[in-house]
Amino acid sequence: MIETTDLEQFDRDGYIVVRGLLDVAADLQPMIDEYEQLLDRLAEQWAAEGRLTSTHRGLPFCERLLQIVPEAHPAYDLHFDISLPQADITDETPMHHGPAVFDLLRSPRLLDAVERFVGPEIYSNPVQHTRIKLPESRLPAESWTGLTAQIAWHQDLGVVTDDADDTDMLTVWFPITRATVENGCLAVMPGSHREELALHCRSRNPLTLNQVCIPDNLATDEHVVLPMDPGDVLFMHRKTKHCGLPNRSDEIRWSFDLRYQPIGQPTGRRWFPGFVARSRAHPETELTSAEDWAALWRKARHELAHSDDVAFNRWKQGDPRCA
């Protein structure tokens, strides 16, 4: 339940953590089961390719991934992610749009909360990720990606195209495993959502290489860390400055970050498919079929695989302020 005081805190600070909003058994466990089956198929494939000596069948998802990835070094991140990457898309680019993930995106508990922030006509913005981060010590830095590395300071508005500048986009972040300061929970700068959109540059720091982010000299250190447990949900304004801390623990840090907005506003990723998650005015327009959702993504992937490079980024390469 979102209280009026939560909305007031959101307006003041640009974020709010609501404890125990999701039902772990009803909202998260079916998705975890789906990911276990997916990992099962991937492990069989990697073992068949001779990259693994054991498939580690029977281990829970995180423990199994923690065994498999340091041995096989597979590019595992995209196999579990919702959104497509922003470059090199082919008809074979892995992505995941299973029914349990679709149900999670449409969880009534989640949408009831989102409705308090964006109103009753809710569109699921296609900038949606799952980030399954291994301990930094278990993978060489060259193999980190934007889904598996620590995340540098940024505003979510800064990583979509400028047609979405006036879109009332809400970021919804929640952990699947507990998120701690040691394993890489989020940190935010309270009140930063009232500032203008900051300059973002491509990071040259090897720890956050190529991420579109606020240069170090523009990021202050007045921040709050946000340890969270499964079931807790962070709601964040599109201009709130935030980062994902490094995973210095020996466990996996797994989270989802979704975005929702009022129906009819630009998403800032026009090549990717969103959908009507809830409409009180026109419930018949809601997307209720996971199959149809997956088909929308396959169509987008096919179109992007056969089109010229698309500009996903609003920032000019070589801005002198980025030096």
- Interacting residue ranges for Fe ion, rule: CB under 5 A: 156
* Residue 211 lies near ligand AKG (rule: CB under 6 A): no
Q: Which of 198, 257, 261, 268 binds ligand AKG (CB under 6 A)?
A: 257
Label each residue of the chain as H, E or C.
CCCHHHHHHHHHHCEEEECCCCCHHHHHHHHHHHHHHHHHHHHHHHHHCCCCCCCCCCCCHHHHHHHHHHHHCCCCHHHHCCCCCCCCCCCCCCCCCCHHHHHHHCCHHHHHHHHHHHCCEEEEEEEEEEEEECCHHHCCHHHCCCCCCCEEEECHHHHCCHHHCCCCCEEEEEECCCECCCCCCEEECCCHHHCCCCCCEECCCHHHCCCEECCHHHCCCCCEEECECCCCEEEEECCCCEEECCCCCCCCEEEEEEEEEECCCCCCCCCCCCEEEEECCCHHHCCCCHHHHHHHHHHHHHHHHCCCCCCCCCCCCCCHHHC
* Residue 77 lies near ligand AKG (rule: CB under 6 A): no
Q: How far is the CB of 244 from ligand AKG (least distance, A)?
A: 2
Of the two residues 43 and 160, which places its CB atom closer to ligand AKG in the complex?
A: 160
* Residue 232 lies near ligand AKG (rule: CB under 6 A): no
Of the two residues 56 and 200, which places its CB atom closer to ligand AKG in the complex?
A: 200
Q: How far is the CB of 50 from ligand AKG (least distance, A)?
A: 33
Of the two residues 42 and 159, which places its CB atom closer to ligand AKG in the complex?
A: 159
Of the two residues 188 and 277, which places its CB atom closer to Fe ion in the complex?
A: 188
* Residue 183 lies near ligand AKG (rule: CB under 6 A): no
Q: How far is the CB of 252 from Fe ion (least distance, A)?
A: 19
* Residue 64 lies near ligand AKG (rule: CB under 6 A): no
Of the two residues 64 and 242, which places its CB atom closer to ligand AKG in the complex?
A: 242
Q: How far is the CB of 154 from Fe ion (least distance, A)?
A: 6
Count the residues of the shown chain that bind ligand AKG, applying the rule CB under 6 A: 10
Of the two residues 156 and 232, which places its CB atom closer to Fe ion in the complex?
A: 156
Q: How far is the CB of 142 from ligand AKG (least distance, A)?
A: 19
* Residue 171 lies near ligand AKG (rule: CB under 6 A): yes
* Residue 244 lies near ligand AKG (rule: CB under 6 A): yes
Q: Which of 76, 173, 272, 312 binds ligand AKG (CB under 6 A)?
A: 173
In contact, 186 and 243? CB cutoff 8 Å: yes
Pair of tokens at residue 182: 């040691």
Q: Which of 131, 200, 238, 301 binds ligand AKG (CB under 6 A)?
A: 131
Euclidean distance between CA atoms 41 and 55, whole angstroms: 10
* Interacting residue ranges for ligand AKG, rule: CB under 6 A: 131, 151, 156, 171, 173, 186, 242, 244, 255, 257
